[in-house]
């Protein structure tokens, strides 16, 4: 490796360690380009190029990990495959590719790569534990398919669970719903304090909240039209990802939700952070207390295939039960997919579409009460991302699309919108204006996963001046000593 390439790789590794992942990714790209030039020179000079191939493989594997951190799983998969192409004996390349396959739900392909590693490292207990975890997921998926029934032919759990028959033990010292089983403001204050003490809400009340809120969401349309009066406002938050103490900080900065202080949380409330239960149950409680002034969008992480991997299912099982998780899954399936504010601003979690013909009525007609498909309008609403250049491209995530300024402009013109607000991507400042201010990203999980170093942000929108959103930035709050992904599936590498 040349001195220039060596310095470049060291700089990339340092940026990665400091949590500057996007900058590290660019530096790894620079290093790969330098190494490929070195390789070409070595081949022309008839020198041994084996060590350079290994160096290139190493950089591709490192860039694959950086892409994983940025949730660009499609790019992570491509880089891992490149690492293997340059050095088929490079074990870390297979690890990285297996992780990317798992993130994309391609469990059998991940298992194939893990078994290739095991074939060369028979006594590696780590890889054998990953193989067992991967096999368990595959068996679970087969079992679920074997026993699955069309949800339209079966009564939802929310309508069959008898919450009132559950006893509350005398030793329980947490918050109680009122005598009629309803959420009150006193209950919410007690719940926040209870959660600050790292205690769990009694399962009777958790089940009651889920059953009641299921019915509320199930009666809502897929796209909800919101009216913010000229003398009113609404606060829009992006991804929370189980970062409960940062969620509380938002309420400290902006006040608790109320009829005069409405909120919209734009998806990805759960997964990755290790207090997802606390986040979602608190937000659902606010929805029950203020049904016409508190709103939640479905994100790509409100999905079973993702919750299996990134921690929410595991957290539910530890804190409650598999039945509780299944009830959460039902609730996630009836969350609205989009909101339109004063007929001028569309809010969705991911982004726009692979066709220019999509209208708001098309979104309204989406059958959302299901697990997200791998393509189509629902998939793109949950997964798509903006890009700086015009046109459309395959997503670096490996699902849905990237869309350019021209796509946003046409969509807004076709639907008489001023701009769109979406979330889905960590941003250094907590927000980003793009596409001539027609596409705004808002992200509310500061120092994402305790490693990204980003600010969080939320938007204040005034009904009298929607054209001038106010961005409020904030930094991460201290939290108890529990790492992100504490409940994630152990197959995540």
**What does the alpha-carbon distance between residue 377 and residue 368 come to, in Å, rounded to a whole number?**
10
**Residue 493 · residue 98 · CB < 8 Å:** yes
Shared domain for 293 and 413, answered yes or no, is yes
Instruction: Give residue for tokens 């809400």.
Output: 201
Q: What digits encode the pLDDT tens for the residues 147-189?
A: 665 545 578 999 999 998 999 999 999 999 999 999 999 999 9
Residues contacting residue 357 through CB under 8 Å, at least 6 positions apart = 414
Shared domain for 236 and 132, answered yes or no, is no
Provide the CATH number for the domain around residue 21.
1.25.40.10
Reading the block at residue 31, the tokens are: 């290093």
> What pTM, to 2 d.p., does this model score?
0.92
Residue 107 placed within a domain: yes
Averaged pLDDT score across all residues of the chain: 93
**What does the alpha-carbon distance between residue 241 and residue 269 come to, in Å, rounded to a whole number?**
5
Dihedral sign of CA atoms 22, 308, 298, 485 in order: negative
Which of 113, 147, 181 corresponds to the end of one domain?
147
Helix, strand counts (H, E) of the chain: 17, 14
Q: What digits encode the pLDDT tens for the residues 375-412?
A: 999 999 999 999 999 999 999 999 999 999 999 999 99
Strands 401-403 and 392-394: antiparallel
The pLDDT assigned to 215 comes to: 95
| 55 half-sphere exposure, CB direction, 13 A CA radius | 23
**What does the alpha-carbon distance between residue 329 and residue 305 come to, in Å, rounded to a whole number?**
10
Mark whether 424 is an active-site residue: no
Average pLDDT over residues 7-28: 92
The pLDDT assigned to 148 comes to: 61
Q: What are the φ and ψ backbone dihedral angles of 401, each rounded to 5 degrees? A: -135, 170
Shared domain for 281 and 140, answered yes or no, is no
| Structural domain of 62 | 3-147
**What does the alpha-carbon distance between residue 117 and residue 133 come to, in Å, rounded to a whole number?**
15
Residue 460 placed within a domain: yes
Residue 292 placed within a domain: yes
Which of 95, 118, 147 corresponds to the end of one domain?
147
Instruction: Give residue for tokens 């096999």.
Output: 135
Does pLDDT of 141 surpass 90?
no
Shared domain for 268 and 359, answered yes or no, is yes
Residue 153 placed within a domain: no
The pLDDT assigned to 151 comes to: 47
* Domain total of the chain: 2
**Active-site entry in 301, 304, 349, 424:** 301
The pLDDT assigned to 153 comes to: 59
Instruction: Give residue for tokens 């079992």.
Output: 143
| 299 half-sphere exposure, CB direction, 13 A CA radius | 26
Shared domain for 389 and 251, answered yes or no, is yes
């Amino acid at each position: 490796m040349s001195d220039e390439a060596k310095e470049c790789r060291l700089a990339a590794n340092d940026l990665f360690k400091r949590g500057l992942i996007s900058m590290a990714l660019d530096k790894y790209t620079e290093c790969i380009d330098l190494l490929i030039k070195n390789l070409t020179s070595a081949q022309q000079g008839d020198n041994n190029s084996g060590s350079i191939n290994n160096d290139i493989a190493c950089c591709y594997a490192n860039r694959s990990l950086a892409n994983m951190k940025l949730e660009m799983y499609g790019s992570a998969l491509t880089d891992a495959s490149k690492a293997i192409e340059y050095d088929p004996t490079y074990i870390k390349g297979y690890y990285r590719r297996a992780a990317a396959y798992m993130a994309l739900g391609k469990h059998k392909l991940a298992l194939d790569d893990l078994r290739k590693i095991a074939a060369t490292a028979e006594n590696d207990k780590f890889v054998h534990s990953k193989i067992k975890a991967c096999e368990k997921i595959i068996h679970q998926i087969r079992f679920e398919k074997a026993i699955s029934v069309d949800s339209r032919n079966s009564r939802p759990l929310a309508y069959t669970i008898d919450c009132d028959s559950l006893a509350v033990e005398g030793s329980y010292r947490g918050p109680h719903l009122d005598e009629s089983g309803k959420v009150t403001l006193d209950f919410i204050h007690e719940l926040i304090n209870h959660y600050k003490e790292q205690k769990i809400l009694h399962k009777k009340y958790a089940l009651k909240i889920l059953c009641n809120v299921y019915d509320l969401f199930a009666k809502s349309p897929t796209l909800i039209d919101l009216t913010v009066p000229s003398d009113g406002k609404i606060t829009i938050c992006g991804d929370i990802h189980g970062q409960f103490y940062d969620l509380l900080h938002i309420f400290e900065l902006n006040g608790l939700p109320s009829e005069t202080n409405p909120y919209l949380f734009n998806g990805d409330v759960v997964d990755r952070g290790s207090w997802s239960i606390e986040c979602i149950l608190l937000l659902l409680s606010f929805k029950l207390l203020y049904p016409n002034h508190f709103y939640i969008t479905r994100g790509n992480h409100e999905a079973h295939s993702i919750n299996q991997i990134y921690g929410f299912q595991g957290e539910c099982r530890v804190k409650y039960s598999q039945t509780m998780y299944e009830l959460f899954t039902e609730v996630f399936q009836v969350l609205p997919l989009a909101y339109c504010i004063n007929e001028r601003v569309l809010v969705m979690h991911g982004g726009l579409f692979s066709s220019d013909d999509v209208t708001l009525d098309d979104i309204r007609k989406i059958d959302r009460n299901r697990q997200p498909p791998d393509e189509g309008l629902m998939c793109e609403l949950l997964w798509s991302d903006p890009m700086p250049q015009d046109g459309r491209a395959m997503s670096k995530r490996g699902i849905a699309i990237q869309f350019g300024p021209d796509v946003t402009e046409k969509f807004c013109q076709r639907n008489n919108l001023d701009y769109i607000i979406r979330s889905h991507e960590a941003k250094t400042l907590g927000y980003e204006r793009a596409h001539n201010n027609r596409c705004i990203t808002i992200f509310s999980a500061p120092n994402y996963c305790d490693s990204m170093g980003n600010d969080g942000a939320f938007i204040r929108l005034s009904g009298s001046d929607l054209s001038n959103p106010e961005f409020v930035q904030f930094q991460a709050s201290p939290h108890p000593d529990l790492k992100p992904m504490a409940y994630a599936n152990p197959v995540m590498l």
